[in-house]
Chains A and B, each alone.
Chain A
């Protein structure tokens, strides 16, 4: 995750100012549908979500069922993607792993959004010492690189998928907070907010009814990019043994085990990585397309 992405998302703010006159502009879905890459990316993401939801129906075997008669077997008709070091079906584990990875992409972003929207709104609208304090803490958190924060937090909280998701959510928080606050601050100087103030709306009403709805577009762009970063972060933590714990499958933990059998069973490491790459690539394409569609200065 980078502040560069945050700035890219913030760049979409001017597009919001025109939100009031948006009636003549085609809807976001239509603007996205005009981009073939975005359509393909959306289909890929939808396919991954469908696989994660229907894992129980799609997986040919239980992801935990071991078979010591079929240890590290290459791909075959019985096991399309081969088997792992204890004879578990790699395809079944890849399918179930989608669930852990997508959850690990969405939940940290939800945590970051749930904390950054109220705090960013408060900071941007209230200003003063509270804004100063929140921003200094945000700067401090941004000074520690994303993965280092996630690893350190996961290490101190203890290894588990839940703690890894909390750690990634907290690590992603400062980028969201800075973006939410910056957007809120920019919006408070807009004419429609000035008008609401002139009409006698209370600060809370202005924040909730006028500023909040217009903050969502840049946060949406940032979310799509952060889901991608969070999936990689979860895979990284699980790869290090700080995320999903064995024998439960996740793409990162599968790669951890696979690394030890690189020469004997390369299929164990190829497929989980390809899955991470495909879903992250699709989310990044979608994030780029969202930014271009929401910000007239891009594309």
Chain B
């Protein structure tokens, strides 16, 4: 099967998923207690302003018509206007997303640098104290609430030791050095959780591969153990880990909500929280919609990577 055909087949399956995603996100508005127009008006209680909102969002129309009109606007890239700032939501998202992407990339690098070597080490020393210790550390990374880990790191590295800034963000094009110091702690906080997932999957995949016939053959041919692990086993074990990486990257983009809040990083997650507190529902709906779309696209990317990395699929 060609890559294009494979991608096309996967993409077709996504259409109904995205349709239901849009229905779910539109339905959020129906959950607002009481009159949606009043809720959307926020602190504005002037009846004419409320009436204007009711007319603008067609709240006096049947729900299906409202959905159709909303979807029409979304497909044209119009996610509405922030009630608080009066800036189009699409514009707001475009300005915040790069910050979160930078944080997610840095977190992923940390996760890969810790997770994969730890998984390989753990699998190659299966059943030993090293394996148990690596497992315990991975499980700790999965169990620690990230926002608390963030608070503890601020306490240690910013308040006590004064090595790193406690919060804030400097764009890389303004000052790369300060940019790196501001995203280091949040990236470590987010990266540790993903490192735990990566480690466990790398270990599982390595253990499976190390039990296969071709690895036994390589060992029987006296191939040095280092080569067996790094060349024969790891290359195949990494296939499922690569796809997991793409999925985890999608999770990082949305998982940064609390981390961004704690470290006052003006990204996508903080935009969601601010939207929630300002009762800025267009912003909340916009962020949820874009994060779902990104998540779906990254899942598609994971499938494509799996296809590219797996010769058996290409031959099918």
Q: CB within 8 Å of B: which residues of A?
A: 2, 4, 136-137, 139-141, 143-145, 147-149, 151-153, 155-158, 228, 232, 235-236, 239-242, 255, 258-259, 262-263, 266, 269-270, 272-273, 276-277, 280-281, 284-285, 288
Task: State how many angstroms separate the Cβ of A252 from the closest Cβ of chain B.
Answer: 8
Bound CA span A272–B151, Å? 12
Contact B147 A255 (CB under 8 A): yes
The answer to whether residues A259 and B139 also contact, given A148-B288, A158-B33, A276-B145 and a CB cut-off of 8 A, is: no
The answer to whether residues A2 and B251 also contact, given A144-B292, A255-B147, A262-B159 and a CB cut-off of 8 A, is: yes
When C-beta atoms are compared, the residue in chain B nearest to A148 turns out to be: B254
Sampled A-B contacts (24; CB under 8 Å): A136-B17, A136-B20, A140-B24, A143-B17, A143-B296, A143-B299, A144-B292, A145-B250, A145-B254, A145-B295, A148-B254, A152-B272, A152-B285, A155-B284, A157-B33, A158-B33, A235-B145, A242-B276, A255-B148, A263-B159, A269-B151, A273-B151, A281-B143, A285-B139
Interface extent on B, as a size class? 35 or more
Contact B21 A281 (CB under 8 A): no
B50 within 8 A of A: no
Bound CA span A136–B24, Å? 12
B123 within 8 A of A: no
B154 within 8 A of A: yes
Bound CA span A284–B196, Å? 12
Please provide the chain B residues from 138 to 160 with a CB less than 8 Å away from any CB of chain A in the complex: 139-140, 142-145, 147-148, 151-152, 154-155, 159
List 7 additional A-B contacts (Cβ < 8 Å) besides A145-B254, A281-B144, A284-B139.
A4-B201, A140-B21, A153-B28, A236-B145, A240-B273, A259-B151, A288-B139
Bound CA span A151–B257, Å? 10
Bound CA span A147–B273, Å? 12
B77 within 8 A of A: no
Q: CB within 8 Å of A: which residues of B?
A: 16-21, 23-25, 28-29, 31-33, 139-140, 142-145, 147-148, 151-152, 154-155, 159, 197, 201, 244, 250-251, 254-255, 257-258, 261-262, 272-273, 275-277, 281, 284-285, 287-288, 291-292, 295-296, 299
When C-beta atoms are compared, the residue in chain B nearest to A137 turns out to be: B20
When C-beta atoms are compared, the residue in chain B nearest to A269 turns out to be: B151
Bound CA span A235–B32, Å? 23
